[in-house]
Every structure is written in C-alpha cells, then in structure tokens.
Amino acid sequence: MILSVRRRIADVARAAPDRTALVGFDSHLTEQVLTWREFADRVADAAGALRAVVDPDTRSCVVVPAGNTLPAAIGIAAALAAEVPVFPMNPATPPAERDALLGLLGRRFGHGYLMDDQLRPQRMDLAAGTEPPAGAGAVAGGPGQFSAVAGGPGQFGTVAYLLATGASTGIPKISARPGPLRYDPARTPSLVIRQTGWRSGQRQLIVGPLYHAAPFSAFLDALLDSNTVVLQSFFAPQWTVELVRRYAIEWLQLTPAHMREILRQPDLDPAGFASLRAMLHTAARCDADTKRGWIDLLGPERVYELYGATEGVGVTLVRGDEWLARPGTVGRGFLTQIRVLDEGGSPVPAGTTGTVFMRTPQRVGRSDYVNDQAIRTTPDGFATVGDHGRLDRDGYLYLEPRDHETINVGGEKVDPDEVEAALRDHPAVADAVAVAVPHGTLGSVVGAHVVLNPGANVRRAELAAHCGRRLAGYKIPKHFTFIDQVPRSAAGKVQRWRLASHHENGATSP
C-alpha cells in the first residue's frame, strides 16, 4: 500500500510505539532519545503548526536549519508530512551564499517559512535574497514541476524537497525532487540502496549533515522504513567509531574524507565494526589507499561505493570485491544507461575519456525535467553534470577530474587526486590539496596546500623529494603553502576555488 509520510509515521508508531526512532545529542553531547510514539506526536504537532500558517493558494516552501539535531529531523519530517516543499539549509551558510540560495527559492515560491528550533514556523521574505551570481543555475525542474495546486488539504505544490548543490565550485544551485513524497514498500528504499546491505528496521548512523543529498536521502529512507537513526551532530572520527560500537550500528554512509580520518585513528580494531552490515561511500572520488584500507577493515563484501549527483541523472554501484578486480572503478550503471561522449556529442571507444552522460527509465522522454544550467541533455534523454570518465569493455565506469580541476602543465594533464595521495603518504602530512599555479612559460605548474599533523615539521624540499619518488617530474608541486585546514564542502569535496588564488610566490624552498 502506498502511503503518505504522515500516515506512514503514524502506522509505525502504532505498531512499535516504544521502539527507538531517533537518537540525538545536545550541545553538551548528552544523549536524547525519541521513541516512535514521541517522534510521531512531535511531527504531527509541527506539521499542524505549519499547515496553520501556510497559504494554500500561494506557492510556499519551508526552510529548515538542518544541523544533525532532533529539532531539524522533526522539522524535515513535519514539512514532508504537511506536504510543504522543504529546503534543508546549512545553519552555518555564509550570509552572501544564504542570500543567493533564498534568491533562487524566491524565483519559484511566493512565500517562505523558517522552522526554528522550537518547531515554530516563522514567515520569511524570500525576496530579500539577492539575485544569484552569474552562472548560477535556476531551481531544477521543468516549468510544470513547480505549479502550486490550489485547494485541498496539503496541496501546496508538486515538489517534495529541494537540495543545494554546486558547493565544490562556489556557484550555488538548487535541485528539486518532485513530490509529494510517498512510502511505497516496493520502492523504499530505492533498489540501488537495497543492494548495499540495507534492511528494514535497522540501526543506522548518519554522519554527514542533513542538508547534504546523501545523508538527507538516507534519513528519508530510514524514516519511511521504520529504522532507528543515530544522528552524529558533528564529525569527529573517534566519535564515529565509538557510536558504531555503542549502538551496534548496522548500516553507515560516509564520504572519502570521513573514511581517511577514521583510518588514521590509532589502534583501530575491526571488532568494533562487527555489527556493521555495510558501509556505503558517496560524494567524492576515493583514493586507492583509503579504499583498500576500508576493504581490509571490513572485508570487500561490506564496502560499497555509489556514484551519482544531487540532480539525479543516474547512479553506478560497485562492491569491494568488484573494485579489487578493477581498481579505480565506480561501478556499472544501476538501472542506468551510460554513454561517454566527445565534445561533438559522439560516443567514444571503450577506454577513451569523454563526458559522462546517464539516463534512467524515469528520465526517458523527459529531458526538460531539469533546467539547471549545469545540466546538459541529449535529444534522447541522456544527461550530464559535466563529469569526465571512461568505460571499459564490460561497462565499468572510471572517473577523471573535471576540466576545472585538471592541472595543465605545458600540455601535460595532472590529476590533482594523484598529487594529493602522494602528499598524504608522507608521515608529517595530515591533508593536502593540489591546485594550478600560473606560470609564464608552461601556463601552469602544480601548487600544493598542505595540512601538517599536530607537532609535525617538514621542509618544502623534503615534500618535493617525497613526491619525486612517486610522481613524474611535471606532477611534482613547485609551490607549497602550509594551511590549518583544507576547505571542503559538507560532502567532503575539496573546494579548490577557495584556494586557487592563494598559492605562495616562489618555488620549493627549505
């Protein structure tokens, strides 16, 4: 039976009123627990308050400051239960970016409401948001996807939720999921997630923030599939390990940045992960050392990788044993067709790099579904977010850096991930990011921003020599800058645009 979010939450609460629905932590890290009965009651109250203030004749949305807290989780669920489009926003979004995002929402919605920590919806002025910067995409969705449906309880539009994307480039965009959201036992969670060790009623830990696509989707699936969710309010690798052990977590989604930090923990004991049925990683490219480290920790059958995009153009999936047979792959399309095309739009041979286009059954014949400027489509419904890659003869996809990430050194292409992996292999280095540095003769050379381990000290010449033992000469960084932290998005993606103009002036030196 297909059910609304409101009905599904109520049904689970009636069937298992005293089972734990959510575990969160306050600012003092004191545990907060809600049973399904308590959760359902608070969602119903917040949804009622939202319905009472929203004008059904005006296109409206609700903004939830989506830290990993119980109020944020309840606010999101309440908006979905009230069938008002919900936008989970990073509570720490800088003012300029916040204004740009509100400006994007203001293009599509007449009224906006802010759900505060007390779960009281407050009217907000979306028109106060600034016009997005040049190049920013509009809210995704074809023209008919955002028409408000006047009249009738809960008919506030045909969008279930909206998610911010584009944080790795600095240009804010918003992607929308048509709605309203429904529970369908045959489709919750999606077929691809079911392949990753997911079980109904499981205990799962959400590490990434709820305003990012993968954790948000995992939370929605958990909500509809009657799971127990533990919300980690901020990422600390030792705390993640402890929460997995303390709550006997069965399913976990991480980013490569999370994975690297956890592997660096001293005396990491595989026994602490005995309850874990699967770890799924998403969001950013994962270096080979990190991938192998987790395969060694959990075993290949419990490590999964999913490649996709917030815009929903398609997905690939690969399990650890498949990856070991084809190191570097992000898998084959799952209910997704993949084409790799050249600049003229023609397919390239197997093993040749081009732009990755994908198509799912839901997208066939609906190339107008996304009008975001970051999305390009073919006449027969294949779409791309601009990622580059190649397919092998068996249909396994391998990603390459995007154009804005690749470093061109006198015509030689440098993958920044390769340079960063070499630097992280040095015992003094905690993290690193490689960027292009302008050069009068070569066009660009490689520059590196390096985070050292606490108490570590290393000469730039030593880092260059270390890289020289692992990389071709043109890939060795010629400029080094020591920084306190690599800027990353909530998904763990390096924000190279924040660093590209801040390299040191001068070659490698002691």
The pLDDT of residue 505 is: 43
Whether residue 416 is found in the same domain as residue 387: no
Whether residue 377 is found in the same domain as residue 488: no
DSSP code of residue 232: -
Whether residue 425 is found in the same domain as residue 396: no
Stated as kind and residue range, the H or E segment containing 254 is: strand 251-254
- Within a domain: 237: no
Whether residue 177 is found in the same domain as residue 76: yes
Q: Tell me, what CATH number does 419's domain have?
A: 3.30.300.30
What the block records as the tokens of 481 is 């800058």
Q: Where does 61-143 have alpha helices with state H?
A: 70-82, 95-108
- Within a domain: 386: yes
The pLDDT of residue 95 is: 84
Q: Which residues fall within 8 angstroms of residue 238, CB to CB, at 6 or more apart?
A: 265
Q: What is the pTM of this model?
A: 0.79
CA 373 – CA 174 distance, rounded (Å): 11
The pLDDT of residue 67 is: 92
SS3 content of the chain, % helix, strand, coil (to 5): 30, 25, 45
Burial 358-396 (b: 16+ CB within 10 A, else e): bbbeebeeebebbebebbbbeeebbbbbebbbbbeeeeb
Return the axis-axis angle of helices 256-263 and 237-246, rounded to nearest 10°.
90
Q: Which of 400, 430, 448 is the last residue of a domain?
A: 400
The pLDDT of residue 311 is: 67
Residue 437's DSSP bridge partners are 445
Whether residue 65 is found in the same domain as residue 160: yes
What the block records as the tokens of 389 is 């890659």
Q: How far is CA 217 from CA 45, 162, 393, in A?
A: 23, 11, 32
DSSP sequence for 39-61:
HHHHHHHHHHHHHHHS-TTS-EE
Quote the strand ranges of 387-428, DSSP E: 388-391, 397-400, 407-409, 412-414
DSSP code of residue 6: H
Q: Which of 382, 400, 418 is the last residue of a domain?
A: 400
- Within a domain: 238: no
Whether residue 84 is found in the same domain as residue 154: yes
The pLDDT of residue 284 is: 74
- Within a domain: 111: yes
Whether residue 333 is found in the same domain as residue 446: no
Whether residue 173 is found in the same domain as residue 41: yes
Q: Tell me, what CATH number does 124's domain have?
A: 3.40.50.980
Cα angle, residue 397 at apex, residues 396 and 401 outer, rounded to 5°:
160
- Within a domain: 145: yes
Q: How far is CA 375 from CA 81, 172, 176, in A?
A: 30, 14, 13
Whether residue 362 is found in the same domain as residue 491: no
Q: Which of 182, 216, 237 is the last residue of a domain?
A: 182
Q: Domain range spanning residue 128?
A: 36-182
Q: Which long-range contacts (CB under 8 A, 24 or more apart) does 194-199 make?
A: 195/304, 195/317, 195/334, 196/251, 196/278, 196/280, 196/304, 196/306, 196/317, 197/250, 197/251, 197/277, 197/278, 197/280, 197/302, 197/304, 198/225, 198/251, 198/278, 199/250, 199/251, 199/277
- Within a domain: 376: yes
The pLDDT of residue 441 is: 78
Backbone angles phi, psi at 376, to 5 degrees: -115, 145
Whether residue 321 is found in the same domain as residue 429: no
What the block records as the tokens of 370 is 């996304």
Domains held by the chain: number? 3
The pLDDT of residue 71 is: 97
- Within a domain: 218: no
The three-state secondary structure class of 358 is: strand
pLDDT, averaged per 10 consecutive residues of the chain (510 residues), comes to 96 98 95 98 97 91 96 98 95 84 90 94 77 44 30 52 70 82 94 95 96 93 97 95 98 92 92 97 85 97 90 89 96 95 93 93 43 70 90 94 78 86 94 90 90 94 94 93 85 72 44
Whether residue 337 is found in the same domain as residue 417: no
Cα angle, residue 307 at apex, residues 305 and 313 outer, rounded to 5°:
150
What the block records as the tokens of 420 is 């960063």
The pLDDT of residue 141 is: 40
